[in-house]
Amino acid sequence: EFHDLLVAIKNEKDQTKLNELEAMYMQFRDQNPSDNFVTCIITEVTTQSEVSEHAQVLLNSDIFKKGDISCIYRLSDPQQSQNAMLMLLNHLAQNPSEKMVKILGSYIEHLLTTEKPVMAEYFEFINQGYQSDNDKIQVACVQMVSELCTINVELLQLCPFDFLAFLQQAIQNPNDDVGNQAVYALCGLMMGNEDAEGKPIIPEEATNQIIEAILNRISSTLQNKNEKIATKMLTSFGNLIHIFGKAVINFAPSIIQLVDEVMKNDFIEEVKCMAVNAFICVIEECVGVRRQLIEQIKNTVQLYIIPNLVPKQEDIDEWIKGVTEYDYKDNTIDYLAADCIVAVAATLGKQVTMPLVNELVSNALQSDMYQVQCAAVIALSTAGTGLKEIVKNKDVESFCQALCYFAKSNHPRVRFEVTCTLITLSELWVPKMQKQYQILIPTMIQLIQDENVNVRENGSGALVTFIKHLNYEQSYPYIDQYQNAIQLCLEGSMKMQTNALQTITALVEIFDKEDIRPLLLSLMPSILQQFNQVMQSIESQNEFSNDQSLFISAIVKTIGSSCQNNFELFQEMIDGILANFVRIIARTVELQQHQMFNETVRVLSVLSEKFTSVIAPYAEQLYPLFMNVLRQDPIQKESLTDDSQPINLNVVEQQIDVMTFIADFIDDSQEIYAPHFEEMLQFFLTFKPMSKQGVAHLYCIAQMTGLALANGQYEDTHREIFKIFYANMCPDEEESHIKFEIQTISQIANVLDALSVFVKHYCEYCVKVKQSTEKELVEKIFIAVEYMLVRMQELSKGELETHAQQDFDEDQLEAAVTDVEQDCIDVIETAGVVYGLFLKHLKDNVDQYVVQQVANQAKEWFEASIDSVINTQFTIEAASLIADFSQYISDAETVKQFVQPFLPMMMEYLQQKKEDADLVRDYMSALYEYLKKSNDIQLASNSELMTLLVEMLQLFKEEGSNDANAACDNICIFMCQSGRLTGQGPEYWSQLIEYCKDMREDYYEVIHCLEFFCDEIITNEHVQARANDVVLLIVNLFFGIHYSGIKNDKEQESIRTVNKVKKFLKQAGTLVKQAVDVGTQFVMKNYQDYMQ
């Protein structure tokens, strides 16, 4: 019966029936004791039949995966487990096989790792079997050793066997199969050669002998032309270099010499691939190496790597004919050659890659050979990541000019590689690439019209990748060309149509709705027609290709973003669109088409922010479906042989998207889901999130407090919900059944963000019922925030120490440290938001103990000093608290008492960190808010501060980065307020107006500046004396890059400013027209729009 069951499992195709058969197998396997099962499985393993190999795989999997609860350890007589293994040894002696060796190896490995007595017969078999004349037995014996060599050397020393001596003998064996197993085993031995403190166990002299023996054996195997075995040896050796490179790096010259020998001789591609892979692993270890080795690496790259970047001629010919699609496969030499350039750029970017790429591009510009041009373009693309931090604007300009030249090549493959490189670098080198938009956009549009379909498809991908990083002013002059290009793409292949839709989505997000409307009016009818065809496919098809899924996701997102931006165009059809979105969601759940499901849910989530009332009935329709998705169990059925964790990640992602939608929708409208409040509350209070879902779950339960507030049930809900927050954030809290472990710094920021939602609704509740905050609850909120900051410090310290121990070069280490610092900055900013919410919502009704806590926190953060990026961010967040207090507390004297103790420290830090644009921006924003509220004449007339501000303006203006420009904007608006309070004269205003003309980065400071000068031109004679310059300033600021945002902003401050500007423009008359005439094309366009 058991034999028949294995046959049925092996042959069954129907998944439902297979599940039933596997359940029967597992039920039999899990019986205690396991005597019957072991007898049956051993019989099947040792009896030649159609399922014997399958039985061997199942038994090995059980021992390897189950450990102490494996069938072998659940026998009624424990001694029988060793007897069973002896039976397998006897069988192996007569029938040597790799799968049988793996069973025995898994058993011995488990004994060693669990410190059980080892089976001496195993090693006796190896010693005796290796002396046999039977080649297969010899191979099996060395394999038995290699199966154990993945264990740490310290454990292997407990065995009655000299692993090193045996393998040093085996690697000399003339049989290449034996040699291969010896190489594999020695590489494994080297990888486990560390004790608990990370110190090597095998002496350095012995490890050097091992590496030399491995290299010699690989060389001799290559000389024997046994290429299949040589490939395996090179694979093992490459893994050793990758994992334990420090031990091998001294042999780098010999390894590179071996690579050169392989590459210049006529070996099969598999051998060359593994040689290049070993070379890549060597390069990744080459940090701080001597110049001679760098020259050797550079020579190998030039002679053997660069020429292999380009696919073989026959592959390109088939590609041109359309027989094959463009696709780098990781087992091809061109793929690994490209990977090699990536490694060289990352490790030796300054010394090798930058000069090499410059030389390649320069030579390619002088060559008519398409291979030379292709190699240069591919090298530029693959080196992009490594050169990201060191490439200069002038280099980017030069490379872009070269790409535009190569885009006109006669060979389609060159033009195609140009599109690939444009896609890569447009993402990697933002914003340096985008500064070249005037030459790159026409080139991309030209490539979209190429005669080769692959070039056209990728050209359309390059365009959308590039323009989504452009701003409104850069993109506007090309709107007609964009429309023509999109129209061409919509008439092309499905990939081109997808790129066209993504381009429309990008433009909708960039352009003002009036500017994008003509394009939407022109293209949307055909898009909606395609959408109807999509709906027919959704209803009729049960499977979708990747291209189809991407297209459907793109069209959903395009329609969604267009509706959000230009709702008026879709009013008559919005119900049909939303009904189709609901149908897509329902159908994709049914078909398990997760990508389309996720994209459609996200689009609905975005639309809900503006069109809650329209979406409401459809959200109600989706409620039962969403709850069914949330009730799915992500834990999958256990596999008989698969070692992976049985979690359905698609279900996990779906549940995250559903929770995010529910949270966003509740945030925008509590009415729709109010009838379901009790059911949802109970569900989310008992929901057990996977680690990845923890943040989404906290965000969801935080929004439930908003729903409770709307339902009048807040008092009974918020304490229960806060318990969950507190249990997840504070280590001293008792275990919670829904607790998830915070493992990354970014998770801390997200948890604090979810907490900020809870705090927001709590403050809204206090305002609504006109009661003070609960001191015990609020203090716990502050404790939770403090715990999160402590956890951030612990994780960041650990990550920075780990990076310091890595074999990073200077650029790599800097990039890794910057990532950690940015994650910490996000945490600190979000922590500051939590404190600031009490001030923002409670304003003058904020309790004194909260004010004191905010003051204490600001003091503590200022005292963090500015000796590191993270500590500096604490002081920046303290400044933000000052800005919040100044903005939301109405009494000027109270604000003065709060802020003035911090002013000396802020002045000191500004002086010390005057080149730090981020610090200057936020400090000046805080000082502006304080000065505006307090009219502190002492601060406004601080001559040392004014001198410093002028110095910083000049410094940041020369730097010209986005951060520097934002710092200038905040300095300017502070100086405006200061000049007003101190009654400055004409020279002051003349100079300041010139600085203000360059304001463009910080939206709110532009608003403040517009309002300021609209007022001052009426009341300040010195400003009136510069009327022409003030008109030019107001025209450029109002009609410049922020025009769309200003005119569409519904905030009261913006509406007030717009009304003042309108009044001013009317009074200024002809001066306005003169200012527009000398402005940019963009200013002229926006002025004309305003006049209409």
Residue-wise pLDDT for 518-572, tens only, equals 999 999 999 999 999 999 999 898 888 888 999 999 999 999 999 988 888 888 8
Name the pLDDT band for 423 (thresholds 50, 70, 90).
very high
Residue-wise pLDDT for 157-169, tens only, equals 989 999 999 999 9
Q: What is the pLDDT of residue 605?
A: 81
Q: What is the pLDDT of residue 385?
A: 87
Q: What is the pLDDT of residue 809?
A: 60
Q: What is the mean pLDDT of the chain?
A: 90
Please give the Cα distance from 35 to 79 (Å, whole number). Answer: 12
Please give the Cα distance from 1045 to 512 (Å, whole number). Answer: 8
Q: What is the pLDDT of residue 847?
A: 95
Average pLDDT over residues 569-594: 89
Least Cα distance to 341 among 331, 352, 351 occurs for: 352
Residue 640 and residue 25 in contact, taking contact as beta carbons nearer than 8 Å: yes
Q: Taking each helix axis as running N to C, give the angle between helix 453-467 and helix 412-428, from 0 to 180 degrees, rounded to the nearest 10.
A: 20
Over 70: is that where the pLDDT of 263 sits? yes
Instruction: Calculate the dihedral angle through the C-alpha atoms of 495, 498, 503, 505, rounding to the nearest 10 degrees.
Output: -170
Q: What is the pLDDT of residue 1053?
A: 82
Q: Two tokens at 899?
A: 């802020």
Q: What is the pLDDT of residue 32?
A: 92
Least Cα distance to 163 among 149, 173, 147 occurs for: 149
- Residues with Cβ < 8 Å from 88, sequence gap 6 or more? 42, 45, 46, 100, 103, 104
Residue-wise pLDDT for 656-675, tens only, equals 888 988 888 888 777 778 88
Name the pLDDT band for 737 (thresholds 50, 70, 90).
very low
Over 70: is that where the pLDDT of 328 sits? no
Q: What is the pLDDT of residue 830?
A: 97
Residue appearing with tokens 């499977």: 543
Phi/psi of residue 688, each to 5°? -105, 100
Q: Per DSSP, what are the bridge partners of residue 635?
A: 647
Residue 1040 and residue 1082 in contact, taking contact as beta carbons nearer than 8 Å: yes
Q: What is the pLDDT of residue 193?
A: 84
Q: What is the DSSP letter of 647?
A: B
Burial state string for 44-65 with b = 16 or more CB within 10 A and e = fewer than 16: bbbeeeebbbbbbbbbbbbbbb
Residue appearing with tokens 């050659």: 337
Over 60: is that where the pLDDT of 644 sits? no
Q: What is the pLDDT of residue 608?
A: 79
Instruction: Calculate the dihedral angle through the C-alpha atoms of 489, 495, 500, 501, rounding to the nearest 10 degrees.
Output: 140
Query: What DSSP line would sit under 610-646, residue for residue?
Result: T-HHHHHHHHHHHHHHHHHHHHS--BPPPPSS--S--
Q: Two tokens at 1039?
A: 């009609």
Query: What DSSP line would sit under 938-1003, residue for residue?
Result: HHHT-HHHHHHHHHHHHHHHHH--HHHHHHHHHHHHHHHHHHHHHT--HHHHHHHHHHHTT--S-H
Least Cα distance to 1044 among 269, 631, 517, 396 occurs for: 517
Average pLDDT over residues 10-31: 90
Least Cα distance to 443 among 392, 404, 469 occurs for: 404
- Residues with Cβ < 8 Å from 405, sequence gap 6 or more? 365
Q: For the beta carbon of residue 484, count every other beta carbon within 10 angstroms.
A: 13
Over 60: is that where the pLDDT of 327 sits? no
Report the chain's C-alpha Rg in angstroms: 34
Residue-wise pLDDT for 753-764, tens only, equals 999 999 999 999
Q: What is the pLDDT of residue 353?
A: 85
Over 60: is that where the pLDDT of 734 sits? no
Residue type, 739: K
Least Cα distance to 956 among 947, 965, 948 occurs for: 965
Q: For residues 722 and 196, which has the higher predicted lDDT (pLDDT)?
A: 722
**Any idea how long the chain is?**
1092
Name the pLDDT band for 326 (thresholds 50, 70, 90).
low
Q: Two tokens at 989?
A: 């205003």
Q: What is the DSSP letter of 247?
A: G
Please give the Cα distance from 753 to 826 (Å, whole number). Answer: 10
Name the pLDDT band for 349 (thresholds 50, 70, 90).
low
**pTM (2 d.p.):** 0.80
* Class of residue 1049 by CB neighbours under 10 A (exposed 0-12, middle 13-18, buried 19+): middle
* N-terminal to C-terminal alpha carbon distance within the chain: 87
Share of the chain above pLDDT 90, in %: 66
Domain boundaries, the chain: 1-148
Name the pLDDT band for 412 (thresholds 50, 70, 90).
very high
Over 90: is that where the pLDDT of 639 sits? no
Dihedral sign, Cα of residue 806, residue 812, residue 817, residue 822: negative
Cis bond upstream, residue 901 (ω within 30): no
Q: For residues 860 and 594, which has the higher predicted lDDT (pLDDT)?
A: 860
Residue-wise pLDDT for 981-1010, tens only, equals 999 999 999 999 999 999 988 899 999 999
Average pLDDT over residues 570-580: 89
Q: What is the pLDDT of residue 638?
A: 65
Please give the Cα distance from 622 to 969 (Å, whole number). Answer: 46
Please give the Cα distance from 703 to 662 (Å, whole number). Answer: 9
Q: Two tokens at 594?
A: 């997760």
Residue 98 and residue 147 in contact, taking contact as beta carbons nearer than 8 Å: no
Distances (CA, A) of 640 to 57, 199, 331, 647, 977: 9, 38, 29, 15, 73
Q: What is the pLDDT of residue 289?
A: 59
Name the pLDDT band for 954 (thresholds 50, 70, 90).
very high
Q: What is the pLDDT of residue 839?
A: 96
Q: What is the pLDDT of residue 764?
A: 93
Please give the Cα distance from 101 to 80 (Å, whole number). Answer: 19
Q: What is the pLDDT of residue 609?
A: 73
Q: What is the DSSP letter of 730?
A: -
Over 80: is that where the pLDDT of 627 sits? yes
Over 60: is that where the pLDDT of 642 sits? no
Q: For the beta carbon of residue 17, count every other beta carbon within 10 angstroms.
A: 12
Residue-wise pLDDT for 478-531, tens only, equals 999 999 999 999 999 999 999 999 999 999 998 888 889 999 999 999 999 999
Cis bond upstream, residue 431 (ω within 30): yes
Average pLDDT over residues 79-89: 92
Phi/psi of residue 449, each to 5°? -100, 15
Name the pLDDT band for 324 (thresholds 50, 70, 90).
low
